[in-house]
């Protein structure tokens, strides 16, 4: 979408926030499955425990979120992606590092699918 709208002077940014210290993970807000699947009990229990432990300990300050969005909206050339929060940065960096390692590990197989006249 960003590439399609750029010729019209319209900027698009995907905002990827980390966890902000709100009631999002609080029992008053978060809902877990009322009909869980037994095969996923271990994963579900671990996830629910992490959410409960993280509740009201999130690093993001919601008071600072709004000003960051306003700054983004006023940028002449905003980024296509914006990570907000130290945890969002850490998660993205970890995912990109893992993705690059996987690309490197399988690069030789990737090249095997090109036509023979393509320089690799």
In the chain, where the domains are located: 2-84
Strand partners, 60: 20
Please list the pLDDT of the chain residue by residue as tens digits (120 residues).
999 999 999 999 999 999 999 988 888 888 888 888 999 999 999 999 999 999 999 999 999 999 999 999 999 999 999 999 999 999 999 999 999 999 999 999 999 999 999 876
Would the pTM of this model clear 0.85, i.e. be above it?
no
Q: What is the structure's pLDDT at 33?
A: 83
Residue 21 pLDDT: 95
Q: What is the DSSP string of 23-65?
A: GGGSTTT----SS--GGGHHHHHHHHHHHHHHTT--SB-HHHH
């Amino acid at each position: 979408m960003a590439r399609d709208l750029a010729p019209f002077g319209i900027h698009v940014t995907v905002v990827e926030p980390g966890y902000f210290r709100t009631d999002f993970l609080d029992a008053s807000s978060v809902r877990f499955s009322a009909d869980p699947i037994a095969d996923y009990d271990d994963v579900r229990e671990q996830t629910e425990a992490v959410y409960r432990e993280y509740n009201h300990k999130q690093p993001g300050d919601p008071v600072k979120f709004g000003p960051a969005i306003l700054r983004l909206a006023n940028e002449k050339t905003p980024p296509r992606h914006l990570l907000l929060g130290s945890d969002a940065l850490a998660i993205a960096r970890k995912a990109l590092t893992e993705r690059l390692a996987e690309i490197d590990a399988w690069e030789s197989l990737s090249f095997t699918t090109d036509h023979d006249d393509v320089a690799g």
